[in-house]
Amino acid sequence: MTDTLEAAPQAKRRKRFNLTRWARGGGLHAVLFAVPVVLVYAYFSWGPVIQGLVLSFQKTNLIQPAEWVGWSNFTYVLADPGLVQASLNTAYFALLALVFGFPIPIVLAVLINELRKYDSLYNALAYLPAIVPPVAAILLWKFFYDPNATGMFNTALGWIGLGPFPWLNAENSAMPSIVLYATWAGAGSTAIIYIAALSTVRTELYEAAEIDGAGIWRRIWHITLPQLRNVIFVMMLLQLIGTFQIFTEPFLFTGGGPNNATQTILLKIYNYAFVNGDFGAATALSVLLAAFLGLLSVAYYFVTKRWSTS
Amino acid sequence: MMKLSRRHVLAAGSSGAVLAATGACSNPGANGEAEELDPSADVTISVGDQPTEDKPEELAAFNERVAEFEAANGNITLEPSAEVWEAQTFQAKLAGGTLPTVMGVSLTYSYELIENGQLPDMTPYLDELDLTKDLNPLALDNVKDDDGNVYTIPTGLFSVGIAYNRNVFEQAGLDPDTPPATWDDVRAFAQQIKANVPGVTPYAQMTTNNTGGWMLTTMTYANGGRIQDEAGTESVMGEETIAALQLLHDMRWTDDTMGREFLFDQEGVRQAFAGGTIGMVLQAPDAYDTLVRDYGFDPAHFGIGQLPQGGSGANGTLTGGTLKLFDAKATPNQLLAAAKWIKYYDFDKYYDETVALDDAETNAAAGNPVGLPGLPPVSQEIYDRYLGWIEPHINVPLEQFASYTSSTLPLIAEPPAGTQQTYAALDPVVQQILTDEHADIAQAVADATEVLNGIIAQAAR
Amino acid sequence: MTELKERGVVSLADRRRPSVRAWFGIAQTVLLIVLIVSGLGPLLWAAKASVSPSNDIVSDPMGIWFSPNDWGNLALAWNGARIGQSLGNTVVLAVGSTLSTLIVSVAAAFLLSVLRPKWGPWLSGAILATLFLPGVVSFVPLYLTILDMPLLHVSLQDTFWAVWLPAGASAFNVVVLKRFFDSIPREYMEAATIDGAGPLRVLTMVVLPLSRPILGVIVLLSIVGSWKEFLWPMLVLSNPDLQPVSVMLPRLATGNSPLAVQMAAVFLSIIIPVVLFAIFQKQFLRGVGTAGGVKG
């Protein structure tokens, strides 16, 4: 890339001045691109993280001046017997969502992908739950989960001789009920992404496998799933990140009950801060969570480094 | 409004002006504005609790009163806001400073808000309006600091009783005029309802959004116990709380008289009650208002008795109510205007027969309950006079409240330290008893005591 | 009816085999029933509940026969929950958040992948460091930041900016975009540079057009995320005129509104997006399709 080569076509263009800077490797332009990035991150990401660290050592209600209180927020949060349970609940939700919620969209996608007629109808139907505003859906489902024999689901299951189930009203079925809802709400939109990814699977591979005598199941197992690996990897990452943020569902379905069975870490942080007005305890728990997630992400990195070939 | 001011000047002589002067001195201002109090300066305040548009009649009535108030007080502009108190977001909004200049919140917060400096000292303004002396002294105790300064105006006071469906009682063969007087009665009545009225939850218990702890506290009081000591320095739950939980456990697991829904909060339980599927539930008489007006419950089926008692007899019941939260960051002129508005909106009817009659007529015409029993926010004497004025308009079937209104139970205040947190920490205990047959009650109470002591220590730092 | 579609796992030869055919037919039918029940069922039920009296909803939720005699519920819900306005707010929030995410993430990724200034690694590290910190962790201080922006001392509370701007700080999107930008052959950009294009032109004429699929993914994820957002708007938008439908509905549910009015509000907030979806279904699903076409 020499200037002489460019010179001829360049003369007519207005961008000559910028080009020199560009050739020098960034300079002012890089700064201009960095400004919105740095501003947004400084205000809404780095700043709050640092402020969170500070707040976790303070007592403040935002009306009276803040006081330094040392480690007492941390000891208070760690002494709360509900913390262990909230952590276990969050992990339990992650596990249930992974075991039950995760495969369903894949199955759905593979099935729909095989349809040769009306597949857009199936697509649209599958996507419907994602269109419903989640909060509206939760209000509906809360009603469907009526634990009385006259409740929606209990009536329907009663027709085939099952139930009545307590759904949200028992410690051991509350979290599965929430996962069931979350699966319903998320399956369709995730499936659509898998369907699109499936269309990129090279069909020669299927033909080759078929010639080698591989049956339908073997083809799915040995060709379809490996070809989807990268998408599955991304979706799983997104789901894991989402799991730690689970809030809306327990907040609206159960408020964390019964007996803290659906209490999650985020719900706890929320309660500390916005119900109890104890911002110190809330940020202290946030800092602990951040430390934990830091460790987790290091572990995740090493595990997936080997698995993901990209 | 003019007329009322005169009445007060006559009643209180010139003390108002004097107190206003001292008030201005004794109010260094939590936030340090040195602005002089000037009752006639132009001022704009926002006022909460405006009804939403799905209740057009109430909204119209509210707006009319706003217009009347503005007409009577030329210098004050009101900005109505539909903001209402909600436990789930209240602290965030309070911290964010987005609440109106004045709105109603649960009386539960009074100690905490005063302690944290989140309420302004209202003494000078209340004195200026000469409102303090007529307020119900019992309620006033809840909103004072150690020096006797008053921080808010308590309104809408109540004590907890037991609401029941008279129709269900009749179907069960129970006397609808005789509510359960003891917890043993409650248990027996529930069994009788279960045997005779299918499809009804004989006794329902609230458990979520802090109502579980709230009602467990009430039941503990009924058994003669306490949740915290009087000063709020430690949790003192004991056998009374255990007995209350044991009763719930037995009714749930031995008798099966508590239905299947164990995640009720206030709105949920009232909706179910209005749907006729609940026999008995702990409620204050203000439930009547919501049940009848919002949920279309048949007034003839509503009954309420005094809180059933346990142990040795008349132990008492829990009181609560609403307090008017004034913005701690408002200017003195705004605070005075806000106090005037509250006086106009909530208190004038107690002092002025015409206002009382107007108010009663409007409410009766709109189908709202008039003459609903409750603890008066003003002194008994003034309240009786008021009841005399509005008697012809009373549309609430008072005889169905007889057991409640004739109650002489001691009235006990809420636990003082970290009240809402205390309730929140007790929610899971009640939920556990109702959803886990083999829960160890004594252990659950012991664990909860530890949590409560942690909350108290954290609040006291 | 797209017969042009290529074969999938099941080949034409497979399809001719009777056993495969039978199983396929069964799977297809079961799938259809499941999808209808789960996709349309709640919608139809909400439709019914919205015009029924409250007590009927409670006492006989599965009743097929009902008398739609409470049409007033819908009007009360429309006005009380301001469904029209709040759905509009939801759209405004989603569009704004998506734009903010796109602008910031594209700028950051372009900076780090193409411009590569000397201090790039520092910025990159600082952004990456926030990758695994979910928004939760800085939730409270972020709220405090909104209430009083440091240095500027303005409050974003009760403005759409309070939702739009924080949405921009998405490290995940930066990483995804940067990886994609890295994969674009440098020759294209160099060629454009030789033609005299400045960085902005390289970005808009070369990088962005080539990145359309990944941008589609980011737009989609951002819209879906914003559509679901509940906690954050609930906190920063306390003015009912600005609240999205997700905040408005629970407010109605915790207020003293009769169940039938709540259900009417739920129905309205479902049916409007569903109708819009039905109209724009083709474009939307195709968009999602291209979006998902990118592998990771």
Q: Which of C55, C238, C254 sits opposite B275 (nearest CB)?
A: C55
Q: Which is more confidently placed, A306 or A33?
A: A33
> What is residue A117's predicted lDDT score, i.e. its pLDDT?
77
What is the rounded distance in angstroms from the CA atom of residue B63 to the CA atom of residue B57?
10
C150 upstream amide cis, omega within 30 of 0? no
What is the overall mean pLDDT for chain C?
80
- Residue A258 near residue B434, CB atoms below 8 Å: yes
In terms of CA atoms, which chain A residue is nearest residue C27? Answer: A111
> Do the Cβ atoms of B272 and C240 come within 8 Å?
no
Q: Is B454 on the interface with A (CB under 8 A)?
A: yes
Give Cα separations from B37 to A53, B28, B29, B43, B126 (angstroms).
41, 12, 12, 11, 13
Amino acid identity, position B458? Q
B283-326 tens-digit pLDDT? 999 899 888 887 888 999 999 999 999 977 789 999 888 889 99
Confidence of residue B17 (pLDDT cuts 50, 70, 90): very low
Cβ distance C158 to B98 less than 8 Å, yes or no, reads: yes
Nearest CA in chain C to B275: C55
Enumerate residues 120 to 159 of chain C having a beta carbon within 8 A of any beta carbon in chain A: 120, 123, 126-127, 130-145, 147, 149-150
Nearest residue on chain B to C261, alpha-carbon basis: B54
B94 touches B119 (CB < 8 A): no
Q: Answer yes or no: do B435 and A171 touch at CB < 8 A.
A: yes
pLDDT at A5: 37
Per the structure block, which two tokens stand in for B282?
Answer: 């702990």
B262 to chain A, closest Cα gap in Å = 6
d(CA B218, CA B212): 10
Percent of chain B with pLDDT over 90: 46
Among A266, C236, A285, A274, CA closest to B420: A274
pLDDT of A9 strictly over 60: no
Cβ atoms of residues B360 and B271 within 8 Å: no
Residue C153 contacts B, CB cutoff 8 Å: no
Q: In the complex, which subunits touch A with 3 or more CB pairs below 8 angstroms?
A: B, C
Give dist(CA B131, CA A283) in Å, integer.
Answer: 42
> How far is Cα B147 from Cα A118, in angstroms, rounded to an integer?
78
Q: Is it the case that residue B460 has pLDDT exceeding 50?
A: yes
Q: Report the pLDDT averaged over residues A70-76.
A: 90
User: C296 vs A285, which has greater pLDDT?
Assistant: A285
The encoded tokens of residue B367 equal 């189908």
Residue B11 pLDDT > 80 = no
Distance between CA atoms of residues B419 and B458, nearest Å:
12
Contacts of C221 by beta carbon, 8 Å cutoff, 6+ apart: A238, C173
Question: Which residues in C lie closer than 8 A to residue A51 (C-beta atoms)?
Answer: 138, 141, 144-145
Calculate mean pLDDT across residues B101-126: 88
Q: Do B275 and C59 touch (CB under 8 A)?
A: yes
Neighbours of chain B (3+ CB pairs under 8 A): A, C
* Whole-number pLDDT of residue B309: 95
Nearest CA in chain B to C256: B294
Best A57, A61, A165, A271 residue to mutate vs chain B (most B CBs within 10 Å): A61
Contacts of C245 in chain A (CB under 8 A): 133, 135-136
Q: Place B12 in a pLDDT band, splitting at 50, 70 and 90.
A: very low
d(CA B60, CA B51) in angstroms, rounded, equals: 9
A3–C contact, CB cutoff 8 A: no
Interface test with B, best of C149, C256, C266 (most B CBs within 10 A): C256
A202: Cα separation from own chain's centroid: 29
pLDDT in tens, C210-220: 888 788 778 87
Task: Give the burial string for B269-280 (b: 16+ CB within 10 Å, else e).
Answer: bbbbbbbbbbbb
Residue B418 forms contact with A (CB below 8 Å): yes
Task: Tell the residue number behind the tokens 């099952």, with chain if given.
Answer: A162
**DSSP 8-state assignment for residue B301:** G
Instruction: Give, rounded to a whole angstrom, the gap between the first and last alpha carbons of chain C.
Output: 29
* Structural contact between residues C75 and C289, judged by C-beta atoms closer than 8 angstroms: no
Contact at CB, B454 and A80, closer than 8 angstroms: yes
C-alpha closest to that of C123 among A33, B367, A225, A12? A33
Which of the residues A64, A150, A259, A268 would you substitute to probe the B interface, choosing the one with the greatest number of B C-beta atoms within 10 Å? A259
**Nearest to residue A227, comparing CAs of A98, A116, A110?**
A110
pLDDT at A2 over 70: no
**Tell me, what's the ipTM?**
0.80
Note the pLDDT of residue B443.
94
- Residue-wise pLDDT tens digits, B198-207: 889 999 999 9
- Percent of residues, chain C, with pLDDT higher than 90: 9
Angle at CA of residue B245, ends B240 and B248, nearest 5°: 130
**Closest among B271, B273, B286 to B203, alpha carbons compared:** B273
The rounded distance, in Å, linking the Cα atoms of A41 and A34 is 10
Q: Among A248-252, A305-309, B362-366, C19-23, which range has the highest average pLDDT?
A: A248-252
Q: Quick check: B93 and C238 CB within 8 A?
A: yes
Closest chain C residue to B49, measured at CA: C255
pLDDT of residue A186: 85
* Pairing of β B278-283 and β B161-165: antiparallel
How close A116 comes to chain B (CA, Å)?
46
Q: Which of B94, B328, B427 sits opposite A257 (nearest CB)?
A: B427
Alpha-carbon distance A249 to A141, whole Å?
11
Tell me which of B11-20, B315-324, B371-380 is least confident.
Answer: B11-20
Contact criterion met (CB < 8 Å) for A259 and B431: yes
pLDDT digit string (tens) for C161-190?
999 999 988 888 898 888 888 888 888 888
| pLDDT of amino acid B136 | 84
Check pLDDT > 70 for residue A307: no
Helix axes A134-144, C41-50, angle to 10 degrees: 80
Q: Which two tokens stand for residue C277?
A: 């979806």
- How close B329 gets to chain A, by Cα (Å)? 8
Chains that touch C (3 or more CB pairs under 8 A): A, B
End-to-end CA distance of chain B: 45
- Closest chain C residue to A16, measured at CA: C196
Q: Which residues 155-194 of chain C have a CB within 8 Å of chain A?
A: 165-166, 168-169, 171-172, 190, 193-194
Is the bond into C199 cis (omega within 30 degrees of 0)? Answer: no
- Do the Cβ atoms of A49 and C138 come closer than 8 Å? yes
In tens, the pLDDT along A239-249 reads: 777 777 788 89
Helix axes C245-254, A134-144, angle to 10 degrees: 30
Closest CA to A183 of A102, A264, A106, A72: A102
Using 50, 70 and 90 to split pLDDT, how confident is the model at B256?
very high
DSSP string, B215-274: HHHHHHHHTT--SB-TTSSSB---HHHHHHHHHHHIIIIIS--S-S---B-HHHHHHHHH
- Ranges A17-31, A210-224, C122-136: which has the least confidence: A17-31
Give which of B423, B458, B461 to mutate to test A binding, by max A Cβ within 10 Å: B458
Q: Nearest chain C residue to B84 by CA: give it.
A: C255
The residue in chain A having the minimum alpha-carbon distance to the alpha carbon of residue B439 is: A259
The residue behind tokens 């809408």 is B156
pLDDT at C66: 59
User: Which position has the token pair 């109540």?
Assistant: B158
E-strand stretches of chain A: 58-59, 67-68
Strands B102-106 and B153-159: unpaired
- Residue pLDDT, tens place only, C1-49: 334 455 677 777 777 788 888 888 888 888 889 888 888 888 888 888 8
Average pLDDT, chain B: 85
Shortest Cα–Cα distance, A136 to chain B (Å): 17
- Nearest to residue B75, comparing CAs of B44, B45, B42? B42
Parallel, antiparallel, or unpaired: how do β-strands B317-326 and B153-159 relate? Answer: antiparallel
Whether residue A258 and residue B90 make contact (CB cut-off 8 A), yes or no, is: no
Torsion over CA: C151, C156, C161, C166 (sign): positive
More confident residue, B350 or C83: B350
Among residues B161, B312, B183, B181, which one has the least CA distance to residue B245? B183
